[in-house]
Amino acid sequence: MRISPRSVFNLLCMTFAVYTLVFILQVFTPTISYHKPTYKEDLRNFTYRDASSRAVTTVSDSNIHLGAEENNISKISDAHLHKLDWKLLEDMFFKINHKEALLFGKFRKKPGFLTIGIPSVKRKDVSYIETTLDSLVMHTPPQEQEQVVIVVFFTDSNHTWVVKRATEIYHKYKTYVDSGFMQIVHPPHIAYPNFKYLERKFNDSSARVAWRSKQNLDYSYLMTYTRNISKYYIQLEDDVITTSGYLGKIKNFIAYNLKKTWLFLRFSGLGFIGVLFKSSDLPKVAEFLLVLFDESPGDLLINDLKKIKGQAKDYRSRPSLFQHLGLVSSLENKIQKIQDRDFPGYRKRKEIGWTPDSPNPNAEIHTNMDHYKNFQPEAAYFSSARNYFWTVDPKNGSFFRIIFQKSINISSISIYSGNGNHPDDKLTSSTSVSVSNVGKEGGEKCAERKKIGKFENGEFHYNVTNYHHNMKCVSIDINEDQTTWIILRDIFIKTKT
């Protein structure tokens, strides 16, 4: 068979084209080895949270039990269990069902000006979230509430506690929640990696690495949830207070920096507190925090992203608009005494302690009530303070406990509340006083308490002839919500050797 030169030329061209295409594919297409995780591997890689009890949206229970089948799972290196399945995370974090995640509240038809994001987690023996919300409500006039949405994101995996706390918050702030000024959020399903095997950095303990890594994932979820609610988004924590006129000051500072290149503006000098973003930037920030969640604390990560996005320096408003007030950190066994020096009315927190000339036995003070400004709990007990304890959030379940360094025999107790300038800030007859021979040992501090009396007209007095022997604790317990603040100014405990 005779082949024409034109046919030979066409055949050579086709062959060359095929080889060229193969070469291009080999050079420019990465080799992908994708292992689709099995369902059981997903169960091992992640800790699932299923909020089965919902106030607004009911989600069926999804209790997962591996049982004996877990032994049949192919052996996987424990050191790699924290690696993330990005398809699963994409579904968890970026394909949010807002109606399912919303426990209480409603979505407004029109976008607001500012969304305030507040992640909240259970702390040991204390909660500050009501103090934070009270401060925001107090300093957001009714005419401005249409422009602001506060999103409280409960991040704890204890669903019984989440539902209980969310319900309590809803009933206390029902008017604000029903109006759309507040939303209470807890996702029905969210995945966290196994934090046990995260790499330690910055000389942090494993517990701290896990804590800040989880924070970054929570920030990422919250930013993704809120991205379309308002024009701007500001990050807060659940243990801060604000100042009057904060919204107007935020607007003025945004206007002043409107023509500058910025990823975020700062309204506080403390880490991630008071950091404001354009809502249009939230998807990028959320993804950045998600991808690098275990690399650095969130405030350091956004500083890196700031440079990538072309922001040359920090733009910070002074004086600060937000102040950190919590002492008990969400990181277990950590006391966080940091405060913003640029917040109006800042006073350096003094270290108050026992001195040899103190009329009272040496002791530690434990309370789940927050103090106002520098009026610390220790000031009520240690005479060297020459001050008093002033708390803003007395409610049912609040306590003030004096735990002695060693066992004592108590002969009398006198306690005074309120003062001449604030006579109404006193304890009522619903407040009881108890003693215990259990101090810090075991589980609950000051357990097995025995009630010895209650307050009358803001004072408590107790004298005994038969001494309370070997006592380790005196506890003041508030058994009803109080409508006023409380001043606890003088405590006197006499002993008999």
51-63+79-324 has CATH 1.20.140 classification? no
The H or E element spanning position 347 is none
Quick one: what percent of the chain has pLDDT higher than 90? Answer: 31
End-to-end CA distance of the chain: 124
51-63+79-324 matches 363-495 in fold: no
Contact 480, 439 (CB under 8 A): no
Contact 135, 242 (CB under 8 A): yes
Q: What is the DSSP code (8-state) at residue 60? A: -
Contact 54, 103 (CB under 8 A): yes
In tens, the pLDDT along 12-32 reads: 777 766 666 655 555 444 433
Contact 400, 394 (CB under 8 A): no
Pick from 129-138, 176-185, 352-361 the range whose average pLDDT is largest. Answer: 176-185
Name the token pair of 425.
Answer: 């800030």
Pick from 74-88, 94-108, 393-407 the range whose average pLDDT is largest. Answer: 393-407
Helix 298-308 × helix 206-226 angle, to 10°: 60
Instruction: Determine the topology of domain 363-495 in CATH.
Output: Jelly Rolls (2.60.120)
| Predicted model pTM | 0.56
Provide mean pLDDT across the span 363-372: 85
Q: Where are the domains of the chain?
A: 51-63+79-324, 363-495
Does the N-terminal peptide bond of residue 319 adopt cis geometry, omega within 30 degrees of 0? yes
Residue 318 above 70 pLDDT?
yes
Q: What is the total residue count of the chain?
A: 497
Burial of 466 (0-12, 13-18, 19+ CB in 10 A): exposed
In tens, the pLDDT along 442-468 reads: 556 788 889 999 999 999 998 876 666
Residue 405, φ and ψ in degrees, nearest 5: -65, -30
What's the Cα-to-Cα distance from 223 to each of 261, 277, 360, rounded to whole Å? Answer: 21, 10, 50
Q: What is the per-residue pLDDT for 92?
A: 55
Q: What is the DSSP code (8-state) at residue 361? A: P
Does the N-terminal peptide bond of residue 37 adopt cis geometry, omega within 30 degrees of 0? no
The residue among 47, 117, 63, 429 whose CA lies nearest residue 279 is: 117
Provide mean pLDDT across the span 23-42: 41
Concatenating the DSSP letter of every residue in 285-337 gives HHHHHHHTTTTS-HHHHHHHHHHHTT--S--B-SS-SEEE--SB-SSTT-B--
Query: What gap in Å lies between CA 211 and CA 218, rounded to an integer?
Result: 11
Pick from 65-79, 167-181, 333-347 the range whose average pLDDT is largest. Answer: 167-181
The residue among 193, 165, 1, 180 whose CA lies nearest residue 81 is: 193
Query: What gap in Å lies between CA 382 and CA 376, rounded to an integer?
Result: 11
Contact 388, 488 (CB under 8 A): yes
Q: What is the per-residue pLDDT for 378?
A: 87
Burial of 213 (0-12, 13-18, 19+ CB in 10 A): buried
Name the token pair of 173.
Answer: 């702030």
**Half-sphere exposure for 124 (CA within 13 Å, toward CB):** 12
Helix 206-226 × helix 282-291 angle, to 10°: 160
What's the Cα-to-Cα distance from 309 to each of 124, 292, 298, 302, rounded to whole Å? Answer: 39, 16, 16, 10
The residue among 154, 92, 90 whose CA lies nearest residue 117 is: 154
Residue 479 above 80 pLDDT?
yes
Contact 67, 56 (CB under 8 A): no
Contact 182, 133 (CB under 8 A): yes
Q: What is the mean pLDDT of the chain?
A: 76
Query: What gap in Å lies between CA 280 and CA 299, rounded to an integer?
Result: 19
Contact 282, 223 (CB under 8 A): yes
DSSP strands (E only) in 325-478: 363-367, 389-391, 399-417, 431-436, 450-454, 459-478
Query: What gap in Å lies between CA 220 and CA 63, rounded to an integer?
Result: 26
